[in-house]
Chains A and B, each alone.
Chain A
């Protein structure tokens, strides 16, 4: 196998040499208030973006204010000193821009997309809300309704969300990853303006943020605008660290949730280390080997050969603290959840006992390289990847190293992580089932 690996390395370097974006094209500035600004000039289209990665997510919450990070993300659009309620979006859209935002367990990310001629407006809008957010009671109440609707429509339309909420809360005993990012309904209904103001003070200081700008801009322009708009905003003492460490799980846990569905859904969740861990790349490749493409282990065996599943996926979020590796299956018609669970476990055991093949290893490396290029195809893909690597992997430079870091993973590494983490005492099993018929109870 050495020879094949060597050949593919050559191919890899040949391909990388062609990629237009290189690590040295990326420039960084650190402002006096501690805010980091990363810039990549890309003049392929007359557009640019600004991604703001805030190091705050649901892991920073506590019972009573669960979901506040996400709610805060919404409130950041609802008025500041210069641009009052509704003005952020109105001014942005009138200048040809658009935006979105998302919140995870670890981060809150704001994304602005705009014609490059509007860049100064974007700096002005962002600086206003970062420096002087003004939370109005009226906007708070209407936004509360919006988030209740967001929560409800997620549960109404997604079986995964319905099961995942309970699965997480079962798998995590202590750590804040145990509640859903959107929060508990009762907390959404009760948090106060003061909760939001405290949150803003604690987490929204410029030193808690990494800004990424990619597109038809110049470094000099970004330097000048950052100095003018972002640098005057005062920094703050960094927020307190998350203290709680999830203790080891000493025994399998199981949870059942009811919802009217056509066939049972089964989820397995195993505790795995954080994204910064050495084992991340092997686990990520294991995830691909299990479920990426119809030739992957779980899809081929469970959907097409045994026909016990109608859908399968695996998921391992990028994460600051140790999190979960999910395997999720939807049963085929008339297949019991027990049967599907057993089939999923059997595939894991096969990898633990016999490892993966050379073919699978090389396939996954090839898939990772394709994924890398697909990310680098757009200015938004570039900005999101650069920010994600900067926060979760310690440096954006690792993005450009990623194909090589995957290339270094061996079959033995993959078998080792499968054996180490996919063990019974480390797992939580969730079933999503239709409600039991009346009169039938165990």
Chain B
């Protein structure tokens, strides 16, 4: 492949987008209904009739930030919704879902848990009935719980076979420390081992509350009819009131550079993250930050990829990214290279970040980046699932379609002077934080120059 599609799409997906109405440059989110049921559940309905498919996406305030002292609890609970209900076994749910070619999934992220369901229009009644059962009457079957736990414990070993799979988790832990934003969503072996079925039942009761949940349904249906259907289906669902306290804002001011060296003694490559504090989802300069990041590490011709890949052939890819959360966010540069060239590549990445501050961005490159982010905008929201994810993200992070509808305008309005401020304010410059995964014995001494080194074996528990 020319480049690893997944890696790049991850960076691009962060840019929220919209379906374009006809006519160049005018981006409008398609019309949708938003209303609340009497139990507090927020509902979004959007018609999309290109194909006879429907997507439903439901979010709860049940993310890994609520794990407490049991890392992995939120994700385990989300997955346990599919272990059977009062009227159906896990196997029955899977057989019925698979039979109509539908797919049903459930997982936690850091700040929410999401249940997703996609199905053909003709199977609407059947699939919505299953969805209701799963959401409202999960049985948390003990046998399925034990079996799943065994698989999870093995999985937590398996993910460490791939540095790319786990480096982000180490990085979050380094940046956020004991703040819940540092929680590993998949958990730790110690944490998962300690989780009981009662923990899961209690977590479900406490966090899966209608007053902090939203369902978005996008696809081939009539909005008025769907409104009636959803009201009838879910209005009787009564849950407790939300009781979780708001998190405190994490402290991300680092007084010194730190290096976490994760030793994988059979590694041929060094995989690295370099960065620091980013921005929150609600930051008014988010669009500007994303446009600047496009130049630094958000596209193929970005400075990082140009230096580390195109000019020097050190790596298959280098990029940078902002991960936004409710209260804060992180920024990182990511790449990998063979052990022998690790220092050369890391030095080069730091040099590129430095050049953003010292040289800055000129008008020509800014125009190119603007065209780039605008040009790919409509394709981000072609699928029903993209739109459903957008609507639920608006709910979780508290923004609305003005972010979408004004996106082009906000991009167009960016000036070189504004970009200069944005770089100085939001792109880390000193006291950088490093995670390096690789053969420690080969680079241990050389990486001391980056900051205070802490070393962990990749096979040690946790992150």
Binding site for B on A (CB under 8 A): 11, 14-15, 18-20, 43-47, 73-74, 77, 86, 89-90, 93-103, 113-115, 117-118, 141-150, 152-153, 155-159, 259-263, 292-296, 300, 303-304, 307, 310, 330, 332-333, 359, 362-363, 366-371, 373-374, 376-380
Chain B residues positioned under 8 Å from A98 (CB to CB): 299-300, 372, 375-376
When distances are taken between beta carbons in the complex, the residues of chain A under 8 Å from B19 are: 45
Question: Chain B nearest CB: distance from A341 CB in Å?
Answer: 18
Which residues of B61-112 have CB atoms within 8 Å of chain A's CB atoms? 90-91, 94-95, 97-103
Chain A residue contacts of B113, Cβ below 8 A? none
Residues of chain B with a CB closer than 8 A to A293's CB? 94, 97-98, 103
By a CB distance below 8 angstroms, the chain A residues around B3 are 100
Sample of 20 further A-B pairs with CB below 8 A, known A86-B301, A159-B161, A260-B161:
A94-B368, A96-B375, A99-B300, A100-B5, A101-B1, A142-B311, A146-B313, A156-B268, A156-B269, A300-B91, A304-B90, A304-B91, A310-B151, A310-B154, A310-B155, A363-B98, A363-B99, A369-B101, A370-B101, A378-B382
- How far in angstroms is the closest Cβ of chain B from A220? 19
What residues of A have a CB within 8 angstroms of the CB of B22 in the complex? 43, 46
**Residues of the B chain whose Cβ atoms lie less than 8 Å from the Cβ of A362:** 99
Contacts of A374 in B (CB 8 A): 51, 53
Residues of B at the A interface (CB closer than 8 Å) are: 1-3, 5, 8, 19-20, 22-24, 50-53, 90-91, 94-95, 97-103, 119-120, 122, 147, 150-151, 153-155, 157-158, 161-165, 220, 266-269, 299-301, 306, 309-316, 336-338, 367-368, 371-372, 374-376, 378-379, 382-384
- Contact status B312-A261, CB under 8 Å: no
Q: A89-B300, A98-B376, A100-B5 are known contacts. Are A149 and B314 too (CB-CB below 8 A)? A: yes
Cβ contacts under 8 Å, A93 to chain B: 299-301, 368, 371-372
> Whole-angstrom distance between the alpha carbons of A45 and B20 in the complex?
6
B89 to chain A, nearest CB (A): 11
Given contacts A43-B22, A377-B383, contact A143 B313 (CB under 8 A): yes
Question: Whose C-beta in chain A lies nearest to the C-beta of B161?
Answer: A261
A307–B148 Cα distance when bound, in Å, is 10
* Shortest beta-carbon distance from B459 to chain A in Å: 10
- Contact of B371 with A373 in the complex, beta carbons under 8 Å: no
Q: In the bound complex, do residue B2 and residue A294 qualify as a contact, i.e. CB atoms below 8 Å apart?
A: no
Query: Is the CB–CB distance between B376 and A102 below 8 Å?
Result: no
- CB <8 Å contact, A366 and B313: no
Rounded to whole angstroms, the CA-CA distance of A141 and B374 in the bound complex is 34
Residue of B nearest to A181 (CB): B1
Q: A373 to chain B: which residues have CB within 8 Å?
A: 51-53, 120
Looking at the complex, which one of B24, B151, B301 makes contact with A303 (CB distance below 8 Å)?
B151
A330 CB contacts on chain B under 8 angstroms: 158
State A261–B95 Cα separation when bound (angstroms). 32
The residues of B that contact A43 with a CB separation of less than 8 Å are 22
Output the nearest chain B residue to A20 by Cβ-Cβ distance. Answer: B50
Q: Which residues of B contact A369 (CB under 8 A)?
A: 101, 120
Chain B, residue nearest A380 (CB): B379
* Contact for A99 among B2, B150, B312, B382, CB less than 8 A: B2
> Nearest Cβ distance between residue A309 and chain B, in whole angstroms?
10
Residue in contact with B94 in the complex, picked from A74, A100, A102, A295, CB distance below 8 Å: A295
- Residues of the A chain whose Cβ atoms lie less than 8 Å from the Cβ of B155: 310
Which of B20, B50, B299 neighbours the largest number of chain A CB atoms within 10 Å of its CB?
A: B50
Asked, given contacts A145-B312, A150-B316, A156-B267, whether A307 binds B150 with beta carbons under 8 Å apart, the answer is yes
- In angstroms, Cα B53 to Cα A376, docked, is 11
A376: contacting residue among B51, B312, B338, B374, CB under 8 A: B51
A19 and B52 contact, Cβ closer than 8 Å, known pairs A89-B300, A370-B102, A370-B120 = yes
Contact (Cβ within 8 A) B368 A153: no
Contact B154 A263 (CB under 8 A): yes
Given A96-B374, A98-B372, A101-B2, A304 contacting B267 (CB threshold 8 A): no
Cβ-defined partner of A292 (8 Å) among B20, B51, B98, B300: B98
B151, A332: Cβ atoms closer than 8 Å: yes
A145 to B267, CA, bound (A): 18
List A contacts of B367 (CB < 8 A): 94
CB of A94 within 8 A of CB of B51, answer: no
User: Which listed residue (A45, A143, A152) contacts B269, Cβ 8 A?
Assistant: A152
A-chain residues with CB within 8 Å of residue B312 when the two chains form the complex:
142, 145
B376: nearest chain-A partner, CB-CB? A98
Give Cα A145–Cα B51 distance, bound, in whole angstroms.
Answer: 44
The answer for the CA separation of A14 and B122 in the assembled complex, in Å, is 10
B324 to chain A minimum Cβ distance, whole angstroms, is: 22
Contact B51 A371 (CB under 8 A): no
Tell me whether A97 and B375 are in contact (CB under 8 A). Answer: yes
In the complex, 16 of the A-B residue pairs with CB atoms within 8 angstroms, ordered by the A residue number, are A19-B51, A47-B376, A77-B2, A98-B375, A99-B300, A153-B316, A157-B164, A262-B161, A307-B147, A333-B154, A363-B98, A373-B51, A373-B53, A376-B50, A377-B53, A378-B379
Question: Shortest Cβ distance from B326 into chain A, in angstroms?
Answer: 30
B374 and A74 contacting across the interface, CB-CB below 8 Å: no
B101 near A366 with CB under 8 A, answer yes
CB-based contact A149/B157 at 8 Å: no
Complex Cα gap A303–B100 (Å):
22
Contact (A142, B53) CB under 8 Å given A46-B22, A86-B301, A115-B24 = no
Closest to B364 in A: A94
Docked-complex contact A149 and B53, CB < 8 angstroms: no
CB within 8 Å for A47 and B379 given contacts A115-B24, A145-B313: yes
> Would you give the shortest CB distance from A277 to chain B, in whole angstroms?
25
* B107 → chain A closest CB, angstroms: 15
Q: What's the minimum C-beta distance from A356 to chain B, rounded to whole angstroms?
A: 14
What residue of chain B has the Cβ atom nearest to residue A87's Cβ?
A: B301
